[in-house]
Amino acid sequence: MHRFTKAERTGEPSSAPPGFSLDAYLASGALQFSAKGSIPLKAEVSPDLAGILAETPLTADQNITTDHGRFVVTATVPQSQQLRHWLLSQGAAVEVLEPVALRNELGAQIAAMAARYQTT
C-alpha cells in the first residue's frame, strides 16, 4: 500500500479470480507471511521498544517482564523470514536470548555485516 498515491471508490463490487483463495496464497509463502511453525521467542529489548510492544504486541501470548531496568519479551511467534527481518531492523534495541539457534543465526549475520564495515 505504500506505493499508492491515490484511491477512488468506484462502486463496483470486488471480485477474485476463479479458484483463488487468499488463505492458500498466503500459506504458499507469498509475501513471506507463511511460517515454518511457531517458536517461543525470548528477547531483551530496550525500554523504548518495550513501550512499543506493550501497545502493539507481537502475539496474543506476549509477555513483558522487567528486572532492574531490563525488559524481557516472551512470545510464541511464527518462524519466518519476516520475523528475522523485523528482528534485524530493530538493531541494538533487541537481543534474541532464545531460541539459541535463532540467536546464533542472527549473531552470524550481524558479525558478517560488521565485518563489511571494518576500516583498514
- CA dist 95 and 77 (Å) reads 15
Asked whether residue 55 is domain-assigned, the answer is: yes
**% of the chain residues with pLDDT over 90:** 62
CA distances from 103 to 51, 64, 75, 98 (A): 23, 19, 15, 6
CATH number of domain containing 111: 3.30.70
- Model pTM? 0.72
Asked whether residue 39 is domain-assigned, the answer is: yes
Asked whether residue 7 is domain-assigned, the answer is: no
Asked whether residue 60 is domain-assigned, the answer is: yes
Cell of 68: 532492574
Asked whether residue 23 is domain-assigned, the answer is: no
Which pLDDT tens digit goes with each residue over 66-118?
988 899 999 999 998 889 999 999 999 999 999 999 999 999 999 999 999 98
- How many domains does the chain fold into? 1
Question: What's the gap between Cα 109 and its chain centre?
Answer: 16
Q: What pLDDT score was predicted for residue 29?
A: 64
Which pLDDT tens digit goes with each residue over 55-72?
999 999 999 999 888 999
Q: What pLDDT score was predicted for residue 31?
A: 65
* Domain range for 93: 35-116
